[in-house]
Chain A
Amino acid sequence: MTRRARTRLFLAAAAVIAAVFALACLRLPPFGTQTHPYADRAVEATMRQRTANTVSSVNFDQRAFDTLGEETILFAAVLGAVGLLRRTADERRTRPRPVAVLPSTRLFGAVMLPITLLTGVYIVGHGQLSPGGGFQGGVILATGVHLSYLAADYRVLDRLRHREALDRADALAAGTFAALGLIGLGAGAAYLQNVLHLGTFNQLVSGGLVPYINAAVGVEVATGVIVILAHFLDQTEEFAGGGKGGSR
């Protein structure tokens, strides 16, 4: 199919989608409506479970089983990306060369790296109280580690992340989430049901199972993102030659 024909076909389809979508929007409840039956029930449940952050309560308590699936998607994607980006027979490993960095950049990295890691731990640890949680904090943790790549060079980043330990931590954290669900079964309730002591509303130890699942997800996201980025960075920094296209 030529490009022109393809674009025409798309525009025809887009016109149909636009018309039907607009018609559907007109029948939706109005924007900003006060009637939110699910929101009212979710807030009621979060108060009962003494979790100040309703979004965390929805994710790690009320819909914990769905989040287990989501976390499995993440784990599978890490596995898939690692499989796709593995070193092929015609590629050889090269040692990354040291790179000259401005002293101001180096200072910025040295100051910001511990602050970013601390922020990540804080966001994961307070997931049941304030905005954030395992997913958000995990990404901040992974980003913090990569400040060493920006402020120093690839060899420093490589020393900072222990590949095998990260691989194991990723799998272990994914397994921990699934294992935490067994607590519910052990107590004679449903899988992933929040049967732990709920604690005091708006305290660090509150929400029962939520902070523990949060921590497991935080570790899994942080290690997963670092592992995926490590394999992408390897493609540009460590592998030379190979393939028809070579490095771009």
Chain B
Amino acid sequence: MSVLPFLVAGWILLVGMYGMVTSRDLVHAVGCLAVAQSSTYVLLLSVGFRHGGTAPVYSDIPTNARVVDPVVQALALTDVVVGATVTALLLALALQLQKRHGTVDPDALDGLRG
């Protein structure tokens, strides 16, 4: 089935979103966001796949070799970096919440406090 890899990406996205919606712990929610974001890696890499293609690195293969799409691989790299920075920032925010409000349960964080 040729659409299966794309559908897998959609499934990972929805699983991650389900985890975020039902989460009772912000650290867990950040993990779910990382899962949801990893669906974009799967989607990008499956869009760029070419049957019989190898990695687009010509240091030890002939220059006319059949390779997969390097553009989406570069985009996936960007994606990973941005994902890591977002995770770091969100975890720092969760730490601050724990310090100020004494909880990281999103349902317990209902009041505005200065």
List the A residue with the shortest CB-CB distance to B11: A18
Smallest CB separation, A114 vs chain B (Å): 25
**Chain A binding surface SS class:** helix
CB distance from A107 to the nearest CB of B (A): 31
Contact status A77-B103, CB under 8 Å: no
Contact A245 B67, beta carbon cutoff 8 Å = no
A36 touches B57 (CB 8 A): no
Known contacts A32-B49, A54-B67, A70-B78, A18 near B14 by CB under 8 Å: yes
Name the distance in Å between B113's Cβ and chain A's nearest Cβ.
11
Residues on the A chain within 8 Å of B73, using CB: 55, 58
The answer to whether the Cβ of A123 comes within 8 Å of any Cβ in the partner chain is: no
Complex: A244 Cα to B96 Cα, angstroms: 11
Interface size class of A (residues with CB under 8 A): 35 or more
Cβ-closest chain B residue relative to A83: B92
Within 8 A of A (CB), among B41-75: 46-51, 55-59, 63, 67-71, 73-74
CB neighbours (8 Å) of B109 from chain A are: none
Say whether chain B's binding surface is mostly helix, strand, loop, or mixed.
helix
Closest approach, in angstroms, between the C-beta of A142 and any C-beta of chain B?
11
> A40-66 vs B: 1/0 string, CB under 8 Å?
001100110000111101110001001
Give the chain B neighbours of A80 by CB distance below 8 A.
89, 92
**Interface segment out of the listed A20-28, A153-161, A167-175, A191-199:** A20-28
B residues less than 8 Å from A77 (CB atoms): 85-86, 88-89
Say whether B3 contacts A47, CB under 8 Å.
no
Smallest Cβ-Cβ distance to B57: which chain A residue: A53
Output the least CB separation between B96 and chain A (Å): 6
CA distance A39 to B81 in the complex (A): 22
Since A25-B3, A58-B73 are in contact, a sample of 4 more A-B pairs with Cβ atoms closer than 8 Å, ordered by chain A residue number, is A17-B14, A30-B2, A33-B51, A84-B95
CB of A235 within 8 Å of the partner chain:
yes
